[in-house]
Amino acid sequence: MVSWSGHILPIVATIAIWFFATGFVAWIDNRDRGTFARSIALAGVAAVGGLALILFSMHLETIAGIYAAFAGAILIWSWHEISFLTGAITGPRRTPCPPDARGWKRFFHATSALIWHEVALASTAVGLILTSWSATNQAGAMVFGLMLVMRLSTKINIFFGVPNMSTEILPPHLAYLQSYFGPRRYTWMLAASIAAIVATAVWLGNVALNAPSGSAEAAGASLLFTLTALGALEHLFLALPFRDGALWGWALPTRRTAN
């Protein structure tokens, strides 16, 4: 049975946080570069608070504990995104891909442009998983791990090529990353990714519906279902002629919108 607290509210909350958090991060990373150091520091403080929320809620088998863990994971993830999009943590390579790079050489260059960020994300995910391994509330680690898998899938698909790639949110100082994007084409990898993500969303939705009405289990599964469904939507944006950046035009500075 569908309930407000176990199903509807978690879905609404996840969509709202996804929308406004993405816009807020885009706004921060498209401001003048002189503001970046303060933004990273403040985001770092928020990430520490997020970690505290996860640690505090690890043994809370309540809906409030699920929301606390979810919020903590989002705060930590946001710091990683801000540190990447400001250019603070990217990779040793900060120049465009050589035009003649092909195959593994191109993959090596692309990896070099992102590797420090990827290592930071993976290390955080492993740390959260190990910390909450025996905890009754593992929502924080699950949320962060799920977002990491979705993001890796997106990056790999963009590297091999997708039909539609919107770059409005990408800050000007990271414009060189566009040289690592693959050609505009529809690949079997994108189709398989969408199918796998949709299947995962269906499974999580079924878990949420079969959980006790109004329970923490239902709320947690509903949060994960919504994140997965949003991940499927973001992958669809790569396949369909839709400018996903238009969703967050309100958050971009005038100089970016005009461009």
- Residue 84 in this model has a pLDDT that exceeds 90: yes
Domain boundaries, the chain: 4-258
Distance in angstroms (rounded) separating the CA atoms of residues 102 and 109? 10
pLDDT given for residue 255 in this prediction: 45
pLDDT given for residue 257 in this prediction: 41
pLDDT given for residue 245 in this prediction: 67
Percent of the chain residues past pLDDT 90, beyond the cut: 83
Average pLDDT rounded to a whole number, residues 75-103: 95
Please write down the long-range contacts of 150-158, taking CB distance under 8 Å and 24 or more positions apart. Answer: 150/197, 150/227, 150/228, 150/231, 150/234, 151/121, 152/118, 153/193, 153/197, 153/231, 153/235, 154/234, 154/235, 154/238, 155/114, 156/189, 157/187, 157/189, 157/190, 157/193, 157/235, 157/238, 158/182, 158/238
pLDDT given for residue 166 in this prediction: 78
- Residue 88 in this model has a pLDDT that exceeds 50: yes
Query: What is the per-residue pLDDT across 178-214, written as a single tens digit (0 to 9) for each?
Result: 999 999 999 999 999 999 999 999 999 999 999 998 8
Identify which of 144, 155, 152 has the alpha carbon closest to the alpha carbon of residue 223.
144
- Confidence (pTM): 0.94
